[in-house]
Structures are given as structure tokens and as C-alpha cells.
Structure 1
Amino acid sequence: MNERQTPQTTDVVLRLEGVSKQYPGTMALKDVNFELYTGAVGVLVGDNRNPTNPP
């Protein structure tokens, strides 16, 4: 019987480096780094409004 390996929270499953996103007149992201780890909850929070359609 094989032993099951438990994923470590130090195991990176997704790495984004130097991500930038620009919309006309707005720099949304500039040189952003993000890592998602096994077993961890990753949350990205930010304003998600269209400036031409205010709340």
C-alpha cells in the first residue's frame, strides 16, 4: 500500500509574475505578482465598476 502524500501549503500551484492590465485611461494592474499555494484560499479583492456605469 502506498502512503498518501499530504500537499504542503508551501507548494505553489499557480505563479503570475509581472502582470499588467490597462484599460483606456486606467492602469488596472501594474507589474503585479501573485502566487497560489496548495491548500490555501486565494482572494483577489478590488473595485469592479465600469466608470461609464456608476452604481
Structure 2
Amino acid sequence: MAPISEMTEFVCYCHQHTKADIEADLIKHHGRSSIMEKIMYHRKQGLCECDTKHPEKR
């Protein structure tokens, strides 16, 4: 099991998805992550707000 800090570390600050969320999604969908697809779609559509919501503004 991943350390607590890794489990709560956000990959996407817009939707507050963690690395653990994405790993579980990959297992659930047999190697395909619907979470990552959603994140990439939002970035391409200009709907991503991680540059303002991320603590380091990235």
C-alpha cells in the first residue's frame, strides 16, 4: 500500500484526483483510465483550472 502522503497527493487539482484514484481506475478498467481520459479531454478543451488551483500554479 502507498504511503498516506502519496495517496492524498493530487494529480488533478480541478477534480481532486489522486495517484491512488488513477491506479485503482486503471485496474478497474483493465489498463485504461477513464479519469486520465477526462483530465486530458478537459485540458484540450481549455477547461482545466490546475494552473490556478494547483498550489504551485502549474
TM-score (norm 2): 0.27
- Higher normalized helix content (fraction of residues): 2
Higher Rg = 1
Higher relative contact order (CA 8 A, sep 6+): 1
Q: Which has the higher strand share?
A: 1
